[in-house]
Amino acid sequence: MLSGGSITLFHVRGIRVGVDWSWFLVLFLVIFYMSGFYSDLLGEPTSEFGPYALAVASAIGFFGSILLHEFGHAVVAVRNGIGISSIQLWIFGGLARMERDTDSPGTEFKVAAAGPAVTALIVFVLAGFGLALAGPDDFSRAMVFDPDAETSGVLAVVAWLCTVNALVLVFNLLPAFPMDGGRIVRAIAWWRTGDRSSATRFAARLGQGFAYLFIGGGLFWIMIGDVFNGVWLILIGMVINGSARAATVQTAITSRIEGVRVADVMDDDPVAIPDDMSVERALDEYFLRYRWPWFPVVDAAQRFRGLLERDRADEVPEINRSSSRVGELLDGALDGLHVSEDAPLDSLLGNQNLRRFGALIAVDADGRLAGVITAEQVGRALRDATVASR
C-alpha cells in the first residue's frame, strides 16, 4: 500500500510502518556491496547463492535493527502520552513521527535516549553471540573485516551487524540536533535553563556546526579519492543542517506564542453529541443541521468519549439507526484526539491529528469537554503574535 509517498509495510498497534522510495537505493547498495564482500571472504563467485543469501540476511538484519531503534523511541513516547503516527525507513535511517512535541526535559531525554539504548542492547547481544560462537580473537578480527580471518558466513554476518550497529550508536550520539545525541543535549539544556526555546536554539546551532564538519570532511574525502563516502557524508551534513535550520525557524515562531494556553484561544461553547443518543437522531439533528464532518461525543457527566465522524454514522444500516447508540460507534481510542485546556499552544504546532481533523478537543483536569481548538485559531494566534512583535 502507498501512503504519503511511501510504501506501507505493516501496522503495529495503530502505528504505520513504511519505507520511503529512497530506502530501496540503500537496500540495493547494501546487498550489492555485501555480496562482493562475502564472495571474497568465502572464496566463492558472486554468482553462487551463498554470498547473495548472506548479503540479503545482512540487509534484513541492518534495517531490522534500525526499525527496533525507532520502536525504542516510539514505545517510550507512547508511555509518556505522546502518540506515534508512523515509523518510516528512508535513505538515512529511520524516523518515528510523534504527534506532538515533548512537554518536559525529562520526557525529551527519555524519548531521545530510548533509541540508542535499544541499539546498544543489539550490539551487546550480537557481541555476546559472536564471542560464544568464535571466541574473542576470531570475533574481533571478523569485526574489523580482516580478510585473513578464519570465519564462517554466519559469524561474518553477526560481526558485520555488530560493527555497523556500533557505528550507528556512536553516530547517533553525536550532539548534532536533530539526531538523538542533539536531542539529549537539548533535554539537558532545557533542564538547566528551564527554557525550551533557548535550549532548542542552542542544540540547533550545535547541530549546524557538526553539519559543516560533515560537509568539510566529505569534501576532504573526495579530494583524496574516496568519492562515494565523501558524497555520502556531505549529504548527511546537508540533511542535518537543513533540519537544524528548520528547528531554529520553528523555535522563533513558537517563542511568539510562549505563555499562551489552549484555553486562551479555544471555542469554549462547543456542540457535542450525547453518547446515549440514537444514530438516527445524531444524523438528523447534528450532521444534517450543522453539515460538519465530525462531532465530539460526551457522556452524561460531560466527559469526552471520542469523535463521531459522519462516514462512521452513515455505515449503520438505516433499519438499525433508531436502535443504535452513538456511544456504540466509538472505538475508545482517545490518544491524540484531545488536549488539556491548560496545554501550551505551541505544543499543538506539530500535532498530526490537528492537521487531519482540523481541530482538537480541549478537556479539563477531570476529562470533561471544555472546548474545541481549531487549526485556524492556532494560525490566527500566530499571526496576531507576529504582528504584535513588530
Of residues 252 and 221, which shows the higher confidence score? 221
Q: Is the predicted pLDDT of residue 260 greater than 70, yes or no?
A: yes
Those residues with Cβ within 8 angstroms of residue 28's Cβ, 6 or more apart along the chain or in another chain? none
Considering the domain architecture, whether residues 224 and 366 belong to the same structural domain is answered as no
Cα dihedral value 33, 36, 42, 46, nearest 10:
130
Among residues 257, 274, 309, the one where a domain terminates is 257
Q: Is the predicted pLDDT of residue 4 greater than 70, yes or no?
A: no
Of residues 222 and 390, which shows the higher confidence score? 222
Among residues 209, 231, 257, the one where a domain terminates is 257
Q: Into how many domains does the chain fold?
A: 2
CATH of the domain at 299: 3.10.580.10
Considering the domain architecture, whether residues 196 and 70 belong to the same structural domain is answered as yes
One DSSP character per residue, 14-65 reads TEEEEEEHHHHHHHHHHHHHHHHHHHHHHT--TTSHHHHHHHHHHHHHHHHH
Mind listing the pLDDT tens digit for each residue in 83-115? 787 888 887 778 888 877 787 899 999 999 999
Considering the domain architecture, whether residues 81 and 133 belong to the same structural domain is answered as yes
Q: How far apart are CA 241 and CA 311, in angstroms?
A: 43
- CA 162 vs CA 117, 128, 143, 240, 270: distances in Å: 14, 10, 7, 25, 55
Considering the domain architecture, whether residues 223 and 94 belong to the same structural domain is answered as yes
- The pTM (predicted TM-score) of the whole model is 0.73
**Mean pLDDT within 266-271:** 91
Of residues 355 and 322, which shows the higher confidence score? 322
Among residues 257, 275, 302, the one where a domain terminates is 257
Mind listing the pLDDT tens digit for each residue in 342-378? 888 877 776 777 877 888 999 998 989 999 999 888 8
* CB-CB contact of 218 with 234 (8 Å): yes
The amino acid present at 292, given as its one-letter code, is W
Considering the domain architecture, whether residues 131 and 171 belong to the same structural domain is answered as yes
Considering the domain architecture, whether residues 227 and 281 belong to the same structural domain is answered as no
Considering the domain architecture, whether residues 61 and 171 belong to the same structural domain is answered as yes
Considering the domain architecture, whether residues 249 and 271 belong to the same structural domain is answered as no
Q: Is the predicted pLDDT of residue 389 greater than 60, yes or no?
A: no
What integer pLDDT is reported at residue 383 of this predicted model? 78
Selection from 196-200, 258-262, 274-278 with the highest mean pLDDT: 274-278
Considering the domain architecture, whether residues 211 and 343 belong to the same structural domain is answered as no
Considering the domain architecture, whether residues 239 and 351 belong to the same structural domain is answered as no
User: To the nearest whole number, what is the mean pLDDT of the chain?
Assistant: 85
Q: How many CB atoms lie within 10 A of CB 92?
A: 15
Q: State the residue range of the domain holding 337.
A: 262-389
Q: How many CB atoms lie within 10 A of CB 181?
A: 23
Mind listing the pLDDT tens digit for each residue in 114-153? 999 999 999 999 999 888 887 777 777 777 766 666 677 7
Mind listing the pLDDT tens digit for each residue in 154-201? 888 898 899 889 989 998 998 888 889 999 999 999 999 988 888 888
What integer pLDDT is reported at residue 375 of this predicted model? 86
Bond preceding residue 178 cis, omega within 30 of 0: yes
> Is residue 3 very low, low, confident or very high in pLDDT (cuts 50, 70, 90)?
very low
Of residues 384 and 243, which shows the higher confidence score? 243
Considering the domain architecture, whether residues 231 and 311 belong to the same structural domain is answered as no
Q: How far apart are CA 11 and CA 1, in angstroms?
A: 11
Residue found by looking up cell 550545535 in the block: 206
Considering the domain architecture, whether residues 233 and 288 belong to the same structural domain is answered as no
Q: Is the predicted pLDDT of residue 57 greater than 80, yes or no?
A: yes
